[in-house]
Structure 1
Amino acid sequence: MALARNDKIKLALLLVLWFVVISPVLPEMVREWSGHSDNNHGFLVPLIALYLVWQKKEELAGAGLESSRWGWVVLVAGLVSFLLSLAGGVAFTARVAVVISLFGLIWYCTGARWTRLLAFPVLFLLFMIPVPVSVIGMVSMPLQLMATKLSAQIIQHLSIPVYREGNMLYFVGTQLEVAEACSGVRSIMSLTMLGTIFAYMSRNGWGRRIALVLAAVPIAMAANILRITGTGVLANFFGDRVARGFLHEFSGLVVFVFGLAVLGLLYTLLNSKKVA
């Protein structure tokens, strides 16, 4: 059932009004996407969400339209939460409320059938919201120390003398610092987002879908440990210059591709047989 002209006008007007209301938080969020490497994936999230919506175009065309009071409740609750958070200067909850209010708007205008089809693409937008710096600060230090410790143990097993102190690795002729940027937080966020997409694509039950999402965390951590270990081995032979510049950035890309490949392999294995 195609959208009638009045329905299109109604939805378009409400979307414009919604966008005007939430627009104050968008410029700062975009600046955070471009200003911090941990948040660069934020640019891709809306594009991925739009693609997922486009994939549902045939199902949406055949779904009936109806207004929903529950959608109105969610929309109002989301907008109230947004305005209160904006007034209180709480950026994170304001941004979450943006996504919740959009979900409520779609539910209110289109009804339950459209909402079920669009629920994942809309809620997927939560991945574009930068994680608060305070949360990253609490998580990154333990990850730094764990990655440094495990990398040092692997390097020692390779018969390379290394001494660890905190997040520092000391070799015979040089030293290597495992900085906050190397804690693996970026890989965890990116691979968790991709794991969620793989889970959405999976058709073999919720157990395997949840396994895909949860597996993204240890895969990202293991890939980051391999990166630090490899950098440490190279630093031992060629000096700490290998930990900076192009090689450092390139190793980050290689590790991400490695993690993505492992996640894709896991997806293939979990979907090789259908759940009875």
Structure 2
Amino acid sequence: MKDKLQSFVLFSILSGIAVLLFYPFFSELNIYWQHERESSYVVLIPLFSAYFLWVQREKLRGLQFNRDEPFFSKEGLVLLICGLGLFIIGRYMYVLFAEALAFVVVIAAAVLFIYGRDLFKITLVPILFLLFMLPIPYPIYFAVAGPLKYFIAYMAATFLSLINIPVFLEGNVIHLTSISLLVHETCSGLRTVISLLAISTAFAYLFLKSYRSWIAIMAAAVIVGIFVNVIRIFAIGLLSYMYDSTVAMNFHKYAWGLVTPAGVITIFLIGYILRWYEERRDT
């Protein structure tokens, strides 16, 4: 009990220091996410992470300290130093992604440093889940979203041509009789994919047992995230052909609020199918 109390006090002190150290970063991250409409889900990430820990509360309560091991983990100390170093570099170079990554690393390092490997293993997934809060570095974002926007445009144009709608594809521009649709990086569906990956990870952690099911639902999240954005562009093109560009653009304003819930529902359906398959296999 004394060891646990000492560890809790030390962890609380380090947490307080970390909050003071990272406070400017929190303000900048909040401003960043306020300008990212499609990433509004990030406010739920810490809540899910906390819920994951609550689910594991019995394991955490039953964990006993091994007094044959050093009180503090050397690996945790090294990781803590690396995390703080990364934060300093990110702060100096104004790289928000590096600061955000450093915050997650410092949390993981503090747990490993104070509580050791056993508790670290239990809390690893809840801590790593915080990575979904990280802003995507622009070089990585454009490297992925660039080719993806061409694929989205190609698939949407293909679906339109299959129902005999006159369409001409020029790179990432879909030319129709009444309108030309520019599929920008923001229309690539990358942020939708990441949000669905977060949801699929949460579902897998809470309800799925096998790693095959984890891989299956996360792969499904990528496919569904891309597909719903293809449908969004296809629907805009279809409306512009059936009605006019005004109707199509009005739909475009609210399309994200329609396709994302559709993607979430699809992921839940796939998840429950995988869970049903696991239960049937185990019986």
- Structure 2-normalised TM-score? 0.88
Q: Hey, what's the Cα distance between the residues in 2 that align with 1:242 and 1:134?
A: 35
Q: Which residue pairs with 2:68 in the alignment?
A: none
Asked if the contact 1:202–1:209 (Cα under 8 Å) also holds between the matched residues in 2, the reply is no
Deviates more, 1:219-228 or 1:175-184: 175-184
Asked if the contact 2:224–2:266 (Cα under 8 Å) also holds between the matched residues in 1, the reply is yes
CA drift of 1:3 comes to 7.7
Q: Which residue pairs with 1:222 in the alignment?
A: 227
Q: Hey, what's the Cα distance between the residues in 2 that align with 1:125 and 1:153?
A: 38
Q: Which residue pairs with 1:43 in the alignment?
A: 43
Q: Which residue pairs with 2:148 in the alignment?
A: 143
Q: Hey, what's the Cα distance between the residues in 2 that align with 1:84 and 1:172?
A: 52
Q: Which residue pairs with 1:179 in the alignment?
A: 184
Q: Which residue pairs with 1:34 in the alignment?
A: 34
Q: Hey, what's the Cα distance between the residues in 2 that align with 1:54 and 1:250?
A: 36
Q: 1:226 to 1:70 in 2, by over 3 A?
A: same
Deviates more, 1:215-224 or 1:33-42: 33-42
Q: Which residue pairs with 1:90 in the alignment?
A: 95
Residues 1:259 and 2:259 are matched in the alignment: no
Q: Which residue pairs with 2:162 in the alignment?
A: 157
Q: 1:107-122 counterparts in 2 under 5 A?
A: 107-122=112-127
Which whole-Å deviations, capped at 9, do the CAs of 1:30-78 have from their partners, x for residues lacking one?
Answer: 1111112243222221122122222222321221246423222211221
Q: Which residue pairs with 1:268 in the alignment?
A: 272
Q: Which runs of 5+ in 2 are unaligned?
A: 66-70
CA-based RMSD of the aligned residues comes to 2.1
Q: Hey, what's the Cα distance between the residues in 2 that align with 1:30 and 1:144?
A: 27
- Structure 1-normalised TM-score? 0.90
- Size of the alignment, in residue pairs? 275
CA drift of 1:174 comes to 2.9
Deviates more, 1:255-264 or 1:116-125: 255-264
CA drift of 1:120 comes to 0.8
Q: Hey, what's the Cα distance between the residues in 2 that align with 1:207 and 1:12?
A: 37
Q: 1:181 to 1:109 in 2, by over 3 A?
A: same
Q: Which residue pairs with 2:237 in the alignment?
A: 232
Q: Hey, what's the Cα distance between the residues in 2 that align with 1:145 and 1:201?
A: 36
Asked if the contact 1:85–1:93 (Cα under 8 Å) also holds between the matched residues in 2, the reply is yes
Q: Hey, what's the Cα distance between the residues in 1 that align with 2:123 and 2:2?
A: 16
Which residue identity does 1:179 align to in structure 2?
H
Q: Which residue pairs with 2:128 in the alignment?
A: 123
CA drift of 1:263 comes to 1.6
Q: Hey, what's the Cα distance between the residues in 2 that align with 1:108 and 1:64?
A: 16
Deviates more, 1:47-56 or 1:188-197: 47-56
CA drift of 1:202 comes to 4.0
Q: 1:28 to 1:81 in 2, by over 3 A?
A: same
Q: Which runs of 5+ in 1 are unaligned?
A: none
Q: 1:205-216 counterparts in 2 under 5 A?
A: 205-216=210-221
